[in-house]
Structure 1
Amino acid sequence: MVPEHLKELALGVPDLLQSCKADSTVRKYCYGFLRWRKWANQNHFEEENIFPIKPFHMCIYLSFLVKNNANIGSLSDAMYGVKWAHDIVGKISPTMSLLVRNVFEGAKRLLAKPVKKKQAVTISILQNVYDKVFDKNNLYNQRTITMCLLSYAGFMRSAEVLALRRSDIQIRASHMEIFVEHSKTDVYRDGSWIIVSRICGSRLCPVGNFELYLKLASIVDDSEGFVFRNLTRLNTDTYVLRKLNKPMTYSRFREIFMETFSSVVPDIKKFGLHSLRAGGASAAANAGIPDRLFKRHGRWKSETAKDGYIEDNFRERLNVSRHLNL
């Protein structure tokens, strides 16, 4: 029993347990476990076998997922969801069993498919997009250009771009400083600064295009509002930023990207929002940017994660065999 004066503290323990992972991760793990519970109930498992789960029952569930053509992501959700549910209450997880682990590895091999990464956006593609849509008085098109250039130049994920507020950005004579408060790799939410250079004389200058966007959107310097919000169309070529301080959704950003880039790339299915981040990273890597600065700019936690974004230049790849003294 907990003493009466400590009950309020005890009630706070579940919140602390839930906070050990990001909210999105907790939702994903919870869903993975609830799918197991639903399946077990449908198949008349006794309650004592539903939780904690016995290793062999977990193997049967994994076999069911494979038979029903689940993807590897669903298998991983099941494993990590079950592990999370047991760990959070101090129970021994069936995922620790070598039997379950081997079945899981076998299931992954059966369901494995080649990874099809999106192609990186190149500078020539960005130039073609700019030529296609730029209009110094069109807020809709300028928003698209600005979001794409920030994603490319800042190696920014779509979620980071969409979460930007005007107060997160400081514009200087030579550059702009972008504070990313929440990042996928920023576990303890310390935040990080991205430095983007002003490129004088370039039509693709991220800073110059951002300044034009602010002007067209009538966003004042001391605003706390989200920078990239939905627009209201007044007539054929006139748009205004909506007053509701709510960021654009990922799905809308993706729709705009597909709509804009579909006519300037051979196959739009090979490109996505991550192509912008990958494009900037590839250009920097092939330009010989020091690895330490490169990794910091992209906010990568590991070398493996960083290298996964880089699309090596064909000439650089040829240099490998050219320098073997054959």
Structure 2
Amino acid sequence: MTTLLSYGALLAVLFVSVITEGSHIHIPCKTVDRMHLLPTTFFALSAKRLLQGGTSNSPNQSNTVQVNRTLNGSAFSADRSDITSGTAHLPEDNKFQCQLPRSHRPLATTPTSSSREQIFNDTWAEIKDMSTKEQFKSADSSIFHIMKSAKSKNTVKQYETYFKKFTQWCISKDVASFPAKSSVIAIFLSGLIQQGVSEAVLCSFFYSIKWYHDLHCAFSNPCDDSVIHSLMEGGKRILSKPIKKKEPISPDVLEKIINVYGEREQNCDLRSVRTVAMLLLSFAGFLRFSELSNIKVKNIIFKNLYMNVCIESSKTDVYRRGNEVTLAEAGGKLCPVSWIKHYLNLAEIQDKPEEYVFRAIRFYKSCGKYMLCGINKPISYTRARELLLEALEKVGIDSKGFGLHSLRSGGATTAAEKNVSERLIKIHGRWKSDYSRDNYIKDCIDNKLKVSNSLFV
């Protein structure tokens, strides 16, 4: 057991030393026997997120990291490009040994559940002990921060909020929230189900408790208990309700909005131009709000007859490899490229690369006109939604069934109606699966009738 504990702590410290130097390394979690143990696997995911596909600080560093270990006498190496592939070069027998004294080598067999619990209990203590040595002095303070980065900031914020509520409940019942017993979690979740909370709230509480125990990895996770899993499955069935999808927005609706707000050439009102540019860009680019709000001037590149929009990070791009959306300058009333050019000129930010494109607008008495707010902060979700619903109300459309996702759904639906290939729609919308893509496309009644009509021809 001592061997496994030392090995887990060593791997965690190894990751810290690599990440803090800004270089890339891949330890194959799926193929090396010992790597499935927490905190190492959890830590590897965090490492990939922090490194973000960047390059090493050392210009002379080779593309292969030689780790001081052997695989049955063969050197184990991991290519830096392998960090995204989940593979590494291993001998056929796949047996792993670390170059440590014989008395400290890992066991050849997979540890049982009881042995894993003991590893989780002692790993942090060993890391703390190792951090007292000069060569590992920065590891102790860095490991927790790096592991926390396995989730996005918004997800971490949400989990912390829900776990705090769980902790308050535990205090009121005079039981421990960490480490929590499976029985305590079962009673808590059961109470939520009986209260009739939404499925989303139930899942948020469950995953926040699971995340907190994984992150601190001081004990085996009580959320892995079979009773908890059965309880969650039952709760989802009881609490699940039909999903009410937002209605897609069509090009005809956008044209009506432009008719009310004014043609591009004659429109010098920054507020209305911002609204139209924002709606057209979201529609044509199939943009999520998080992608739209984080666009900066430097992310927009105008080319001959088209425009590229660089999406630095998105929901499906957790490692920030980046995506590029290409939009044609087709001309006409609904051309998003022409409206973006007009908006950037009117806002006077075309030469300010670090400025967020869509943000708050205020009236400046000194110059007697509306201008972008001096604070370089992206527009909020609430304000962007208000602008969309306000535009719909102005053209006489009931805004109740619409939201910001209506623009993304509307763009995808229109592309499908125009017989754009499913592959291109999936790439353009940055969807990972066909199922996700299809959820955004609403077939018109004529297309739905084609199925039954074809049966009787």
- Please give the TM-score of this superposition, normalised by the length of structure 2: 0.67
Corresponding residue to 1:298 among 429, 435, 449: 429
Corresponding residue to 2:234 among 106, 110, 114: 106
Corresponding residue to 1:63 among 174, 182, 190: 190
Aligned twin of 1:154: 285
Corresponding residue to 2:223 among 95, 111, 116: 95
Aligned twin of 2:363: 233
Deviation at 1:234, TM superposition (A): 4.7
Which whole-Å CA distance do the structure 1 matches of 2:137 and 2:396 have between them?
61
Deviation at 1:88, TM superposition (A): 1.9
Aligned twin of 1:211: 341
**1:318 partnered with 2:449:** yes
Deviation at 1:23, TM superposition (A): 1.3
Corresponding residue to 2:163 among 33, 49, 53: 33
The SS at the match of 1:311 is coil
Which whole-Å CA distance do the structure 1 matches of 2:293 and 2:285 have between them?
13
**In 2 relative to 1, CA 241–31 (structure 1 residues): closer, same or farther, beyond 3 Å?**
closer
Aligned twin of 1:190: 321
Deviation at 1:196, TM superposition (A): 0.5
Deviation at 1:52, TM superposition (A): 2.4
Contact 1:138 1:238 in 2 (8 A): no
Aligned twin of 1:178: 309
Aligned twin of 1:77: 204
The SS at the match of 1:262 is helix
Which whole-Å CA distance do the structure 1 matches of 2:230 and 2:200 have between them?
17
The SS at the match of 1:196 is strand
Q: Structure 1: 5+ residue runs without aligned partners?
A: none
Which whole-Å CA distance do the structure 1 matches of 2:231 and 2:358 have between them?
46
Per-residue CA distance 1:34-61 (angstroms, 9 max, x = gap): 222110111111x3xx322222221110
**1:258 partnered with 2:395:** no
The SS at the match of 1:179 is strand
Which whole-Å CA distance do the structure 2 matches of 1:242 and 1:81 have between them?
36
Contact 2:260 2:394 in 1 (8 A): no
Q: Structure 2: 5+ residue runs without aligned partners?
A: 1-128
In the alignment, residue 282 of structure 2 is paired with which amino acid?
S
Which whole-Å CA distance do the structure 2 matches of 1:321 and 1:206 have between them?
38
Deviation at 1:303, TM superposition (A): 1.6
In the alignment, residue 98 of structure 1 is paired with which amino acid?
S
The ranges of structure 1 where at least 4 consecutive aligned residues each deviate by more than 4 angstroms after the TM superposition are none
Per-residue CA distance 1:205-237 (angstroms, 9 max, x = gap): 0011111111211223453211112212258x9
Which whole-Å CA distance do the structure 1 matches of 2:352 and 2:214 have between them?
45
Contact 1:162 1:248 in 2 (8 A): yes
Which whole-Å CA distance do the structure 1 matches of 2:444 and 2:396 have between them?
18
Contact 2:328 2:337 in 1 (8 A): yes
Aligned twin of 2:350: 220
Higher relative contact order by CA 8 Å / sep ≥ 6: 1 or 2? 1
Aligned twin of 1:281: 412
In the alignment, residue 28 of structure 1 is paired with which amino acid?
Q
Contact 1:82 1:93 in 2 (8 A): no
Aligned twin of 2:380: 249
- Please give the TM-score of this superposition, normalised by the length of structure 1: 0.93
Contact 1:229 1:241 in 2 (8 A): yes
**1:118 partnered with 2:246:** yes
Which whole-Å CA distance do the structure 2 matches of 1:189 and 1:112 have between them?
33
Which whole-Å CA distance do the structure 1 matches of 2:396 and 2:283 have between them?
16
Deviation at 1:177, TM superposition (A): 0.4
- Listed as ranges, the matches of 1:124-143 within 5 Å are 124-134=252-262, 136-143=267-274
In the alignment, residue 302 of structure 2 is paired with which amino acid?
I
Which whole-Å CA distance do the structure 2 matches of 1:231 and 1:222 have between them?
17
Which whole-Å CA distance do the structure 2 matches of 1:68 and 1:317 have between them?
40
**In 2 relative to 1, CA 29–244 (structure 1 residues): closer, same or farther, beyond 3 Å?**
closer
**1:307 partnered with 2:438:** yes
In the alignment, residue 199 of structure 1 is paired with which amino acid?
A
The SS at the match of 2:442 is coil
Contact 1:181 1:192 in 2 (8 A): yes
Corresponding residue to 1:11 among 132, 141, 163: 141
Per-residue CA distance 1:224-251 (angstroms, 9 max, x = gap): 211112212258x942222322222121
Which whole-Å CA distance do the structure 1 matches of 2:138 and 2:357 have between them?
40
Per-residue CA distance 1:44-93 (angstroms, 9 max, x = gap): 11x3xx32222222111012212333211110011111111122233332
Which whole-Å CA distance do the structure 1 matches of 2:445 and 2:274 have between them?
33
Per-residue CA distance 1:274-325 (angstroms, 9 max, x = gap): 1001100111122111122111110111222111111112211111122235
Which whole-Å CA distance do the structure 2 matches of 1:222 and 1:263 have between them?
33
Deviation at 1:267, TM superposition (A): 2.4
Which whole-Å CA distance do the structure 1 matches of 2:198 and 2:159 have between them?
16
In the alignment, residue 282 of structure 1 is paired with which amino acid?
T
Deviation at 1:101, TM superposition (A): 1.6
Contact 2:392 2:398 in 1 (8 A): no
